[in-house]
C-alpha cells in the first residue's frame, strides 16, 4: 500500500508569548520570556509563585457567556485556536466533505480547574451533593475534541490522545497516520492545557519538579544552564490542520510544510525520570527518522523537550549525540520552553509549530536564559543560546517526553511540490 502525503494547511495558536501565530513566532525569534508572577489565583503561599500564562484572554470575546460557562479553560482555548486554524486553512462545508474531516486532539490533564472548583465547593457545603450538571462534560479531557467537531460540524474520526507531556505530539502522529492510511482527508490536531491553579501548581511543587526562582521569573526557565532548577508551568493551545496532499492541491490550499514522519517509544524505566542515558529518547528519534525515510544528516534543527530539569536535559543531549553522531555538531538545537515554559499536554504542538515556522523562514529560535555552561553537556553541541540564528532548515525534528516514560517525535520538512 502506498502511503499518502500529508501537508499542513492551517495553524492556530494561543501561547504565553501571544494570542495568535504571528505574535507567538515574533516572541520566539526575539527571545521573549512569557513568565511573570501568577495572576490566575493567589499563589503567595506556594513555593512557586510565577508561571507562563496566556495574557489577556477573555473567552467572552470569542463566545457568549453561556457557552463559556459550559467549558473549562482548556476547552475554551482549544476552541479559539481551532477557529484560527480553520480560518487559516480556508476549509468550510463547501470545499471539504465533513464526513472525511476528523479531530484528533490532546490534553495531558484536561479540566483540572473545573475538578478543583467542584470538589472545593462540595467540601465547603453541608455534605449534600450539589454539583454543576456540566461538571463531568467540562472536566473530561476528550471534550475538547468533541467540542471542536461540534463547533465546525466535522464528522470524521474524533477522539482524544493522552500521554502526559507527549500528548499533542502523539495526537499529531495519529492524525498523520489517519490521513496517510486513507481514513480521512483532513484532520484538525494538536492540544491544549490550562492547569495553572492551586491543584496544578501545588501538585507539581510537591514533586519538586518546578523552578522556585520567584525573585526572577523571566530567567527561571533555563534549559541546559548549569543552575537550572526545574520547569516553569505554562498554558497554551495549538491546532494544526493536516491535509492529504492531493486534496489540498485540488482546493488550492496554502501549504506550510509537509509532515515527514513520527515515532513513539517508552522508557519503561521510571514514573517521572527519563532513562539517564536517554535510551527512550534515542529510540524515538531513530523511529521517526525511519518512518520518514530520512537519514540523520537530513535534519537541520531539533526543538528539544528541554524542560530545564537537571536530569532530563542531560539525558536528551546524550540521546542526540547517539542518534546523530558527528552530524550532531552541525545541528542547531534549542528549547523554546525557555520562553513558553512547559505547556504540558500542549507543549508538543506549539513546539511543532515552532519547527514549522523555522522550516519556512530558515530561522532557529533560541534557548534563552543561558548564563553558565553545564560540564555534564557536550560543549560541541549548538544549543542556540540566547539569540536566534539564521540558517537553512530543510527539516526539523520535535521531541516531547512525558511522565510514565512516554516519548514522541515528529519531523516536518520544507514543502516541495
Nearest alpha-carbon partner for 131 in 120, 143, 147, 142: 120
Residue 305 designated active-site: yes
Element (H, E) at 266: strand 257-266
Of 152, 247, 305, 406, the active-site residue reads 305
Neighbours of 181 (CB within 10 A): 11
Residue 370 designated active-site: no
SS3 content of the chain, % helix, strand, coil (to 5): 40, 20, 40
Of 52, 152, 165, 300, the active-site residue reads 165
Task: Please tell me what DSSP assigns to residue 409.
Answer: E
Give me the phi and psi of 246, to 5 degrees please: -65, -35
Which set of grid coordinates corresponds to residue 336?
523554546
Contact in structure between 239 and 168 (CB atoms under 8 Å): no
Residue 165 designated active-site: yes
Of 152, 247, 275, 342, the active-site residue reads 342
Q: CA–CA distance from 409 to each of 286, 302, 355, 387, 401 (Å)?
A: 9, 10, 12, 25, 9
Cell numbers 531539533 correspond to what residue?
Answer: 302
> Looking at the chain, how many residues does it have?
417
Beta strand ranges found along 284-371 (DSSP E): 301-303, 332-334, 363-364
Please state, in angstroms and rounded to a whole number, the distance separating the CA atoms of residues 14 and 28. 13
Rg (CA), the chain: 20
Q: Which residues are catalytic?
A: 165, 305, 342
Amino acid at each position: 500500500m502506498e502511503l499518502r502525503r500529508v501537508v499542513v494547511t492551517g495553524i492556530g495558536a494561543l501561547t504565553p508569548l501571544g494570542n495568535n501565530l504571528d505574535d507567538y513566532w515574533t516572541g520566539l525569534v526575539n527571545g521573549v520570556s512569557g513568565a511573570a508572577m501568577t495572576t490566575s489565583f493567589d499563589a503567595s503561599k506556594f513555593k512557586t509563585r510565577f508561571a507562563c500564562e496566556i495574557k489577556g484572554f477573555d473567552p467572552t470575546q470569542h463566545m457568549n457567556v453561556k457557552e463559556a460557562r459550559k467549558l473549562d479553560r482548556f476547552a475554551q482555548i482549544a476552541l479559539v485556536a481551532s477557529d484560527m486554524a480553520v480560518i487559516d486553512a480556508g476549509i468550510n462545508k463547501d470545499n471539504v466533505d465533513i464526513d472525511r474531516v476528523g479531530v484528533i486532539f490532546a490534553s495531558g490533564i484536561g479540566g483540572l480547574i473545573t475538578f478543583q472548583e467542584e470538589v472545593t465547593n462540595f467540601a465547603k457545603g453541608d455534605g449534600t451533593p450539589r454539583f454543576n450538571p456540566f461538571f463531568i462534560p467540562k472536566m473530561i479531557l476528550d471534550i475538547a475534541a468533541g467540542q471542536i467537531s461540534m463547533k465546525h460540524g466535522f464528522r470524521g474520526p474524533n477522539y482524544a490522545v493522552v500521554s502526559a507531556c507527549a500528548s499533542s505530539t502523539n495526537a499529531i502522529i495519529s492524525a498523520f497516520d489517519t490521513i496517510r492510511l486513507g481514513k480521512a482527508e483532513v484532520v484538525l490536531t494538536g492540544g491544549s492545557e490550562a492547569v495553572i491553579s492551586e491543584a496544578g501548581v501545588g501538585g507539581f511543587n510537591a514533586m519538586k519538579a518546578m523552578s522556585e526562582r520567584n525573585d526572577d521569573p523571566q530567567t527561571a526557565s533555563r534549559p541546559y544552564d548549569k543552575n537550572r532548577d526545574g520547569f516553569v508551568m505554562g498554558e497554551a493551545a495549538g491546532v494544526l490542520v493536516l491535509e492529504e496532499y492531493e486534496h489540498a492541491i485540488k482546493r488550492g490550499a496554502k501549504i506550510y510544510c509537509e509532515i515527514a514522519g513520527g515515532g513513539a517509544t517508552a522508557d519503561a524505566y521510571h514514573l517521572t525520570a527519563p532513562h539517564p542515558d536517554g535510551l527512550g529518547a534515542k529510540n524515538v528519534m531513530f523511529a521517526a527518522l525511519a518512518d520518514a525515510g530520512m537519514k540523520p544528516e537530513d535534519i537541520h534543527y531539533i526543538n528539544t523537550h528541554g524542560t530545564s530539569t537537571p536530569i532530563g536535559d542531560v539525558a536528551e543531549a546524550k540521546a542526540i549525540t547517539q542518534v546523530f553522531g558527528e552530524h550532531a555538531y552541525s545541528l542547531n538545537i534549542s528549547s523554546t520552553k525557555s520562553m513558553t515554559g512547559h505547556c504540558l499536554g500542549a507543549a508538543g504542538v506549539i513546539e511543532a509549530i515552532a519547527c514549522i515556522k523555522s522550516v519556512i523562514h530558515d530561522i532557529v529560535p533560541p534557548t534563552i536564559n543561558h548564563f553558565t555552561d553545564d560540564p555534564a553537556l557536550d560543549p560541541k553541541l549548538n544549543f542556540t543560546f540566547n539569540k536566534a540564528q539564521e540558517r537553512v532548515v530543510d527539516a526539523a525534528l520535535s521531541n516531547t517526553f512525558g511522565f510514565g516514560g512516554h516519548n514522541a517525535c515528529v519531523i516536518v520538512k520544507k514543502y516541495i511540490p
